[in-house]
Amino acid sequence: MPRRARIITAGYPMHVILRGIDRAAVFFEDADRQFFLDHLAAVAAEESVAVHAYVLMTNHLHLLMTAARDDGVSAVMKRVGQRYVQHVNRTSRRTGGLFEGRFRSSLIEADTYLLACQRYIELNPVRASMVSVPGDYRWSSHRANALGRRDSVVTPHPLYQDLADSDQARFAAYRRLFEDMLSAELLQRFRECTNGGFVLGSPKFERQIAAMLGRRTWKGAPGRPLKEIDADEQGELAL
């Protein structure tokens, strides 16, 4: 069967996950992580893609990005991925691939989920028991978003900018968001939507994107075109 096309639309944030083959390590030392971030910053700027949040774990990475073109995110992932694999192969004297197949992604409804997605990404090291607070982890966007640390990778989203009128007030407001835990239900939605390639948003937003693309954007029975959704299912999705 042909693989399902990604849901990609310019101007909407996308949560992206890229994992190592068989969940093996992809970052081996700090120099590898710095190489990846340096090239991510450069390529994202060249492709007109804004990176709002990121975290580099040992065997995978998360990114939250908004592209000016439909192919912007794919272009960034391809170019940075190729450069990084070449770097690791050269420095480690190895050959072959490093990352599993395609990156996984989910289109995000910004108004409802963008800041929650940033928290989800930046809390990864805490959930993995690598650090006790996100600011203790060097390889994420949290120090930029919450503490004002300069980071060439990060471009703040307008919703983040709207947290407060001044930088210091904005950093404080963002830190306060981390006082509330993300619910288990929301964590599961992030995982299901990103691993499944679905839209994360309200039923209205899901249908808005579906109308733009002409296909289903939420988890459902396979093989059923959008126009054949029965009345009962439409009613459930409207709740």
Is the pLDDT assigned to residue 236 strictly greater than 50? no
Is the pLDDT assigned to residue 45 strictly greater than 90? yes
Please answer whether residues 10 and 76 qualify as being in contact, where contact means their C-beta atoms are separated by less than 8 angstroms.
Answer: no
* pLDDT value, residue 210: 83
> What is the per-residue pLDDT across 99-130, written as a single tens digit (0 to 9) for each?
987 899 999 999 999 999 999 999 999 999 99
Q: Which tokens hold the place of 184?
A: 């288990």
What average pLDDT score do residues 154-169 get?
A: 97
Is the pLDDT assigned to residue 21 strictly greater than 90? yes
Is the pLDDT assigned to residue 2 strictly greater than 60? no
Work out the pLDDT band at 9, boundaries 50, 70, 90: confident
- Greater confidence (209 vs 141) lies with 141
What predicted TM-score, i.e. pTM, was given to this entire model? 0.88
Domain boundaries, the chain: 13-201
Instruction: Compute the distance between CA of residue 80 and CA of residue 223 in angstroms, rounded to an integer.
Output: 34
* pLDDT value, residue 5: 67
* pLDDT value, residue 217: 64
User: For the structural domain made of 13-201, what CATH number should be given?
Assistant: 3.30.70.1290
> What stretches of the chain adopt beta strand conformation (E)?
13-19, 49-56, 60-67, 104-107
* pLDDT value, residue 207: 86
Is the pLDDT assigned to residue 179 strictly greater than 80? yes
What average pLDDT score do residues 29-47 get?
A: 98
Please answer whether residues 206 and 237 qualify as being in contact, where contact means their C-beta atoms are separated by less than 8 angstroms.
Answer: yes
Render the burial of 137-155: b for 16+ CB within 10 Å, e for the rest. bebbbbbbbbeeeebebbb
What average pLDDT score do residues 137-160 get?
A: 97
Work out the pLDDT band at 218, boundaries 50, 70, 90: low
* pLDDT value, residue 92: 86
Work out the pLDDT band at 215, boundaries 50, 70, 90: low
Is the pLDDT assigned to residue 224 strictly greater than 60? no
What average pLDDT score do residues 192-198 get?
A: 90
- Greater confidence (209 vs 229) lies with 209
* pLDDT value, residue 220: 59
Q: Read out DSSP for 97-114?
A: --B-SSPEEEEB-HHHHH
